[in-house]
Amino acid sequence: MTADLEAQLRAVSLRVTRPRLAVLAALRDHPHIDTDAVIALVRADLPAVSHQAVYDVLRALTDAGLVRRIQPAGAIAHYESRVGDNHHHVVCRSCGAIADVDCAVGHAPCLTASDDHGFVIDEAEVVYWGVCPSCLTPNTASSEEGST
């Protein structure tokens, strides 16, 4: 599995380092997590890595297109490694949970603007807001299994 992640780094001419591999692995296993959660996961493997180092890695991976930054209005930045498509997100107004929503049609831009103002549009980003299943049914979350 690590060979996979190493290949991703090499494909964008980034040097393979353990912190970069750890961040990619964390996002592969836990999509849509914030910076603090990334730091906690990376440190479980590499306790010596600093906060700043993780910030730097996230920035480098985002700039290189290996990681996508999602920041719903009013929320802090979340990261995911599902890139290269034009998928959207649904966000819970109550707890902030984020899930993927596949493109409306085929590939980017998967929605047609009613007026493009002469722009050449190559991407559409949609955020669906609502309430997630566990917020809809408070008090029963702990008795259910298989929710992850």
103 assigned ligand-binding residue: no
Element (H, E) at 18: helix 18-29
- From the CB of 58, what's the least distance to Zn ion, in Å? 15
Residue 95 interacts with Zn ion (CB under 5 A): yes or no: yes
Contact 85, 28 (CB under 8 A): no
Closest CA to 147 of 82, 86, 95: 95
Phi, psi of 111, deg, nearest 5: -130, 150
Looking at the Cβ atoms of 18 and 66, the one nearer to Zn ion is: 66
Name 84's bridge partners.
Answer: none
Residue 127 interacts with Zn ion (CB under 5 A): yes or no: no
Q: Which of 66, 67, 80, 91 binds Zn ion (CB under 5 A)?
A: 80
Looking at the Cβ atoms of 16 and 141, the one nearer to Zn ion is: 141
For the chain, the straight-line distance linking the first and the last C-alpha, in angstroms and rounded, comes to: 22
Closest CA to 81 of 126, 41, 127: 41
- From the CB of 134, what's the least distance to Zn ion, in Å? 6
Residue numbering of the annotated binding site for Zn(2+) = 92, 95, 132, 135
Footprint on this chain of Zn ion (rule: CB under 5 A): 80, 92, 94-95, 97, 100, 132, 135
Binding-site residue positions: 92, 95, 132, 135
